[in-house]
Amino acid sequence: MPFAGNLVRFDLLCGADADGHWRGRYVVHVHADALRVLGLHPDQPSAVITGPSPPGW
């Protein structure tokens, strides 16, 4: 799903871990307005669980 450029931000965090190995991690920030359009924001009733969970795979 495409988002406008100002609604999503990607950050790359790099650094040495406690054991000395280098680690990298991507962090994705999505603006709340982009989530509301998809019905994923917690303020919307569609984001609330209304039934039982599906069976496990």
User: In this predicted structure, what is the pLDDT of residue 30?
Assistant: 86
pLDDT band at 49 (very low <50, low <70, confident <90, very high): confident
Delimit the domains of the chain by residue range. Answer: 8-45
Say whether pTM exceeds 0.85.
no
Instruction: Place 48 in a pLDDT band, splitting at 50, 70 and 90.
Output: low
Per-residue b/e over 17-53, b at no fewer than 16 CB within 10 Å? eeeeeeeeeeeeeeeeebbeeeeeeeeeeeeeeeeee
pLDDT of amino acid 52: 82
